[in-house]
Structure 1
Amino acid sequence: MPEGPEIRIAADTIANVLVGNTVETIRFGLPRLRHFSKQLKGHRVIDVETRGKALLTHFDHGYSIYSHNQLYGVWKVCSGHKLPKSNRSMRILLQTETHSAVLYSASDISVWPTEELAEHPFLRKLGPDIMNPALEWREIAARLQDPRFERRELAALYLDQSFLAGNGNYLRSEVIHHAGLHPKQKPCELTRAQLGKLARSTLEISRRSYDTRGITITPRLSKTLENRGVARGSRRFYVFGRDDLPCYSCSTPIKYSEINSRRLYHCPQCQPA
């Protein structure tokens, strides 16, 4: 499933062709939504927002489209009105005079009055969005000490969207590794310095992934590996997907584990129990 950085990248791509422009053609692939086409057609898109893994397309007359990619949803943007060939099911088609934006395969889609989005059953449960540029490390550190979260293992907490929205499987492993903590540690067991490090790592890793379109290691390390002939797909992460390969810091083999059918990776040396 795409995580916060990937959803924000998709939103940026969509915003580049929709924001400030009038939607001249709109189609919904789900029958239950088709009556909204007339309500939204002819109106201007004023913003494309993300909240965690949800994407919100806001129109100038006070309505918004909520969509969640789930496991298989994907947005495509193209110039003109001729759509790319695809075996996927079209769910949303938004066309301006010059461009098309299409959502395929997703089914968690709805249309809301913008002012009522706070009541959406998914959105109202979300914590702060990790991709919100206004989010600061001190707010994350404070949430780590919140009674709702402080006694939960980091491995579980860093998938909980009510803690921080937009985190996912690869970010979890990468953030916890970058902070030098064991996945089974709990915030209540950490020192103030460790809490601060974890909070900063959360922002640093997620924002680096956004800036690099999916690479969480430092640009310097990435360049070094590239010069050695390592393909991009093999030099994206510190630990995620690297089981039994040497840690970049200490050469200890990375360990793989599974919690509730979700993959988790850590370095036993850099992240001692």
Structure 2
Amino acid sequence: MPELPEVEVSRLGISPHMIGETIKEVVVRNKQLRWPIPEEVHLVHGLRINSIRRRAKYLLIDTDAGSIILHLGMSGRLRVVPTSTALQKHDHVDIQLDNGQCLRFNDARRFGACLWLNKSEDSHTLFRSLGPEPLTEDFDAQRLIDLSRGKQVPVKSFIMDNKVVVGVGNIYANESLFLAGIDPRRPAGKVSKKRYIALTPIIKDVLAKAIEQGGTTLKDFAQADGNPGYFAQELRVYGRAKLPCVNCETPIKSVVIGQRNTFFCPQCQR
């Protein structure tokens, strides 16, 4: 499933081709994705794209009438192609531009979304309870310390909670906790303040490096230009069950936490 770095890479890939261009038409071939596509998305016909933003794992294509919200779900993919490009199976939505190009949304599993926002982000139920962006100053160690006190949930689940901080998905939670030397099973409230102070910049650094390297291609994700993300080559624990730890050569363990596969070194992470 595309996580925050992959969505940010998609935003960076499509933005130069779309910002400042005028939307000719939105063509919906399949209205039923994760949620039904609302008729309001057609309000953008004839309008200029002012900006393309990311909030958590959502992309917002802003016009004067409102914003089209896109979510990639489990297998969604965005490509900027000539409108005349032959359709592929599962090409569900085109945002066609006056210049003959279009943003084409392909989603084999149909867990993605194309929705509408006509006011501020806080007015939409999807955004109302989201925590801060991890790469901003609003996310700091003090927030983790304050929100974790008394919490018995595993620290991995805690930092993946979008109410705490958005976008720290499964891959990057595994990697960050390994680099911080924190056992992902440890109750969030039992992690010391000192360790949260160390963990916070690690989370930021892991996400920033993943964006810089084009995300992580494991199965479904590719960049907007079709190229894979290269951060997979940097993974130290994720997907490495039974392989030797890169630090101490102890076999990496795998457990399930919050219904997600979790990888850690029992020697390096305490």
Cα distance change on mapping 1:44 and 1:149 into 2, 3 Å: farther
Where does 1:43-62 land on structure 2 (aligned, <5 Å)? 43-59=47-63, 61-62=64-65
Residue number in structure 2 paired with 1:228: none
Residue number in structure 1 paired with 2:175: 174
Aligned mates of 1:86, 1:249 — CA distance in 2: 44
After superposition, the CA RMSD in angstroms is: 2.4
Residue number in structure 2 paired with 1:236: 234
Cα distance change on mapping 1:92 and 1:159 into 2, 3 Å: farther
Cα distance change on mapping 1:175 and 1:150 into 2, 3 Å: farther
Residue number in structure 2 paired with 1:220: none
Aligned mates of 1:235, 1:22 — CA distance in 2: 39
Q: TM-score, normalised by structure 1?
A: 0.83
Between 140-149 and 171-180, the greater mean CA deviation after superposition: 140-149
1:121 deviates by 1.1
Question: Helix, strand or coil: the match of 2:157?
Answer: helix
1:62 deviates by 3.5
1:147 deviates by 3.7
Where does 1:170-209 land on structure 2 (aligned, <5 Å)? 170-209=171-210
Tell me if the contact between 1:144 and 1:187 (Cα under 8 Å) persists in the aligned partners: no
Cα distance change on mapping 1:198 and 1:2 into 2, 3 Å: same
Cα distance change on mapping 1:192 and 1:82 into 2, 3 Å: same
Residue number in structure 1 paired with 2:250: 252
Residue number in structure 2 paired with 1:267: 265
Query: Structure 2 residue aligned with 1:108, among 105, 110, 113?
Result: 113
Residue number in structure 1 paired with 2:128: 124
Residue number in structure 1 paired with 2:160: 159
1:214 matches 2:218: no
Aligned mates of 1:34, 1:52 — CA distance in 2: 21
Between 67-76 and 30-39, the greater mean CA deviation after superposition: 30-39
1:66 matches 2:90: no
Tell me if the contact between 1:144 and 1:150 (Cα under 8 Å) persists in the aligned partners: no
Question: Helix, strand or coil: the match of 1:155?
Answer: helix
Between 159-168 and 180-189, the greater mean CA deviation after superposition: 180-189
Cα distance change on mapping 1:263 and 1:34 into 2, 3 Å: closer
CA displacement, residues 215-253 of structure 1 (integer Å, 9 cap, x when unaligned): 6xxxxxxxxxxxxxxxx6873301000111111111111
Q: Which has the higher contact order (CA 8 A, sep 6+)?
A: 2
1:94 matches 2:92: no
1:33 deviates by 4.3
1:16 deviates by 1.3
CA displacement, residues 190-209 of structure 1 (integer Å, 9 cap, x when unaligned): 33331111101110101111
Aligned mates of 1:253, 1:175 — CA distance in 2: 18
Cα distance change on mapping 1:146 and 1:28 into 2, 3 Å: farther
Query: Structure 2 residue aligned with 1:41, among 45, 54, 63?
Result: 45
Tell me if the contact between 2:37 and 2:113 (Cα under 8 Å) persists in the aligned partners: no
Tell me if the contact between 2:41 and 2:115 (Cα under 8 Å) persists in the aligned partners: no
CA displacement, residues 99-155 of structure 1 (integer Å, 9 cap, x when unaligned): 221112245221121x3331211111211122x4xx13x833122122466623212
**Aligned pairs, number:** 250
Aligned mates of 2:14, 2:149 — CA distance in 1: 34
Tell me if the contact between 2:53 and 2:61 (Cα under 8 Å) persists in the aligned partners: yes
**Which structure: greater helix fraction?**
1
Question: Helix, strand or coil: the match of 1:263?
Answer: strand
1:167 deviates by 1.6
Aligned mates of 1:235, 1:56 — CA distance in 2: 30
Aligned mates of 1:66, 1:46 — CA distance in 2: 14
Cα distance change on mapping 1:239 and 1:14 into 2, 3 Å: same
Question: Helix, strand or coil: the match of 2:46?
Answer: coil
Tell me if the contact between 2:44 and 2:65 (Cα under 8 Å) persists in the aligned partners: no
Q: Percent identity?
A: 23
Cα distance change on mapping 1:149 and 1:28 into 2, 3 Å: farther
Q: What is the identity, as a one-letter code, of the residue corresponding to 1:63?
A: G
